[in-house]
Each structure stands twice: as C-alpha cells, then as structure tokens.
Amino acid sequence: MLTPRFKLSQDANHVFITIHAPYTNIGDTEIDVDGENFLFVSSPYFLRLRLPGRLVDNDSSKGSYTCDSGDFTLTFDKEQPGECFENLDMITSLLAPRDIPDVNPALVEMLDEDGITLDEHEEINPTAEYAVGFANKLTTEFGDLASEYPQIFELRDPQNVAITDRNNLRIQYEDDKFSPDHYLADLYEPELILPYLEYTPFWDSPDYNNIDFTEDEISVLKELPNKSYLLTKTEKQQVMLGIIDILYGYCYDKRTTFNDSTVESSWTINKLSSTLSWFCVFNDIQEVLIACYRRALVFPIFRNFELCEAVKNDVTLLFEKGKKFIIKCFIEIHTMFNKSNDARYILNQLYIKDYLVFLQKCSDDDINKLYYQILNKQISKNDVQLELEELEHAAQLVKIEHSQILENEMALKMASLNILGLGCNNDALNEEESEDDDSSYIASDSSEDSSDDLDSDDDQHPS
C-alpha cells in the first residue's frame, strides 16, 4: 500500500484534510474518524493518522473528490470547539500512533507527548562507546564502510575509536591540514572575500515569510518512519548541538554560492560538519561553534575568519525563523545527499532522516533555546587555536619589513640618480676650468648665464 501525500489545516472549529490519491477507486474508499484517530483506505493507498486533538464524525462532516487533481477534501468538526491543534504541519509525527518505548517508567520522564523520552539515569551503555549515527544509537558493524568512503568519513575506523576520543583526534587532523599560506592569502586579498561577506541569505530578507512545505517536501516527510526516541539528557543535548553543526555547513554553502548550490555543495556540508565526517558529539555551544569555525578555516576554498562570523550569523537568523524552516533546510540537505555522486545517501541513513523525524517532535522551546545560545556566543580568533593572531602579526611584520626594503631600494635608486647627475655637472665645470683658472669667476659667470636663460624664457611668455 502507498502512503498518499496529504495536508492538514484548521480554523477555530474545524480540521480540513486534503489527500492526494489520483489512482484511487472511489467506490472502494473507506474513511473513518474515531477521536484523535483518522483512517483513510482507498486502494492502492493507506493512511492512518494520530491527530493532536479529537475530531467528531457527525452530520456536518463532509467530503469531496476532484477528478482532475485526484484530491480528496475532507472537513470534520473539532470535539472541543476553539481548540488549537498543534503541529498539524509536522507530517511524519502524524503518520502513526506514538509508541512509547518499553522501559521501566520509573527510569524515564516524558518530555512531552510527541515521542521524545528523557532517561533520567545517565549510565553509559558499554556497547555504545564506539557507536555512530543519530544519538550514537548504531552499534552494528560499520568500520569497513567508513574506510571505503574516505571522501565522506575522515575517521576511517570508528568502531576502534571511542566517542570520547574522536574530538581530540579530529583536532589533531585539522591542525595538520591547516594551511597558514592559504589563510593569509584570503586575509590579504579582501576583494576575493568581500562579495561573500556582503551577501544576504534569502531567509534574512524581510519579504521571506512563506515557509509552508512544498509538495516535494511533503513527499519526503511522508516517507519517513515515525519513531519514538529514548534519550538521556546528555544525548538530547548532543543531538540538539548536532543541528547547529550540520546547519553551519549548509549556511556556509548558501553564502559562498549565493544560494545557488552546486554539485560540490553536499561535499561542503559533509566536510564542515564534525558530526557527519568524524561521528563527533558536542556538549556545549562553544565547543560546537569552535569546531565549525576550525573546519571552515581548514578545508573549503574560502578560509576567512570574518566569513566564519558571517556564517554564524546566518545560522542564528535561520534559527530565528523557527522549527519549520529548519526542517525545510534538512529536507534540502537530504535531497543533496541523495543526489551526490559520492554515495552520501549513507549520511541520510545515519543521521539526516532521524533528524527530520526528531525535529518534528522536539518543541519550539528547544529551538528557541538554541537560538539564544548561538546569539549570545562569540568566538574569537584565539578560541579556534590555530594561532591566527600570531600568523597575522608575523605577516604584518613581514609586510612592514618588505615595505621598508622597498623604500630603502627606492632611496638608493634616487641617490644613484642624484650622484650621476652631479657627475655630469663636474665634468662641465672641469672643461670650463681648463679655459680659465679663476673658478670663482667662472661659477659666478655661469650663475649669471643661468639667470639670463631663465629671464629669456620668461620673456617668451609675458604675463
């Protein structure tokens, strides 16, 4: 059975459901409403929803089918008139009943009723010490696959490197790859970087307010499995910070391509994310932003600290748009990875699909908290620990020294010209001295002749 594309909307007293089922047989269609449960069956389509509020199927319920578009349009009354149904546009989270994990209820606290459960006990599962993937939940064999795709994963053998060791190894790797010459070249050729610094991302435009999901985006969301997540508080924090880590690469790509993503865009997002390239996790906002800055100064074509700051501001503005816009960005990343020639679809299996489900379930408060954390955090050149200030200071000294050398060379050239000029005058004087031994008289006479010549010039151009 196929899951049809669908959309939900509401007013104060009604819920409107549109289902796109162009190949259906209307005579075999079954529609059932039972409180918060909605069922649609019409071969070859099957749709079961769990709504955030209760509906009633009464005499005012109505429906129609448009043959040209293949759309069912259904209207139902809310059981409680005036009730607001939250997150009706979070497609995946509506698709199945919210299955609560089979755990001891004394050990968990429901964060909310959307399928995210917090484990209050922070014990580390020994089998998860070398795990990968979303929330480090994948503990199956993965080492060979990582080593086979060096263009995707810099950590080749994650199953032999503990999660706690990965960030240190990543930092060592970045230190080795950092190019002072490339960094200084971008620093002292501002005309190359300036257009990217001046660019305004489309989501920062005051005219950009429509963030409804497109039909293609809905098609992606409806194919995702609806999951429940059992996370420790630490794991949830790490998952939330991973959103920043991934979106930083997305924003860098958008700024440096002027929102015209290329075939290299999936590489950029993959490469700038420590989550996707090193299976790393982060525990605070400073740590994740420093990692983003470092990778943006080591790997892509434009390596400039001001550019890093501009991208960080882009991420902040992106979070300001809210959860729905962030989901749209992750859908675009999902599409890029699926189209990548370097098998980056594997990153969708490991991370992006789960993030798309998780984002639909997490609260707006979680997103707002991240927004304020990014907004209030500033990263300095010293924080990235690439000796940027020392490099710039040394480069400035070299620049000053080079300028002084040029000035000295110019002074020597000018002195040489002056010396050559004096030599010619002495030769002329020596010739005159051979004609008359009275040097003082000759000098005086020469001065008078020179003055006469000047007067003669002036006479030719009377005032």
Instruction: Answer for the pair 327, 91: CB distance below 8 angstroms, yes or no.
Output: no
CA dist 139 and 398 (Å) reads 52
**Closest C-alpha to 248, from 287, 194, 206, 207:** 287
CA dist 207 and 420 (Å) reads 70
C-alpha count within 13 angstroms, C-beta hemisphere, residue 303: 20
Hey, what's the torsion of the CAs at 452, 458, 461, 463, to 10 degrees? -140
- The pLDDT value recorded for residue 395 is 83
- The pLDDT value recorded for residue 450 is 38
Instruction: Answer for the pair 174, 298: CB distance below 8 angstroms, yes or no.
Output: yes
**Closest C-alpha to 239, from 114, 115, 145, 370:** 370
> 3-state DSSP call for residue 340?
coil
Q: pLDDT tens, position by position, for the chain (463 residues)?
A: 789 999 999 999 999 999 999 988 888 899 999 999 999 999 899 999 999 999 999 999 999 999 989 999 999 999 999 999 999 999 998 986 444 444 334 333 333 445 677 666 666 555 578 899 999 988 766 657 777 888 999 998 898 899 999 999 999 999 999 999 999 999 988 899 999 999 999 999 888 877 889 999 999 999 998 888 889 999 999 999 999 999 999 999 999 999 999 999 999 999 999 999 999 999 999 999 999 999 999 999 999 999 999 999 999 999 999 999 999 999 999 999 999 988 999 999 999 999 999 999 999 999 999 999 999 999 999 999 999 999 999 888 877 766 767 777 777 777 777 776 654 454 544 454 444 444 433 334 444 443 344 333 444 443 3
- The pLDDT value recorded for residue 171 is 98
Q: Tell me which residue has tokens 């983003």.
A: 292
Instruction: Answer for the pair 281, 232: CB distance below 8 angstroms, yes or no.
Output: no
- Residue 7 CB contacts under 8 Å (≥ 6 apart), including other chains: 17, 18, 89, 218
Domains of the chain: 5-88 (2.60.40.790), 108-391 (no CATH)
Q: Which residues of 389-417 are buried (b: 16+ CB within 10 A; e: fewer)?
A: eebbeebeeeeeeeeeeeeeeeeeeeeee
- The pLDDT value recorded for residue 457 is 40
**Closest C-alpha to 292, from 383, 163, 359, 355:** 383
- The pairing of strands 62-66 and 229-232 is unpaired
CA dist 134 and 238 (Å) reads 10
- The pLDDT value recorded for residue 401 is 66
CA dist 157 and 140 (Å) reads 13
DSSP classification of residue 200? -
Provide the residue count of the chain.
463
Q: To which H or E segment does residue 110 belong?
A: strand 108-110
| Adjacent-strand bridge partners of 121 | none
CA dist 414 and 50 (Å) reads 88
CA dist 242 and 355 (Å) reads 9
Instruction: Answer for the pair 76, 57: CB distance below 8 angstroms, yes or no.
Output: yes
Rg for the chain, CA atoms, rounded: 35
Question: Among positive and negative, which fits the CA dihedral 33, 39, 43, 45?
Answer: positive
- The pLDDT value recorded for residue 121 is 60
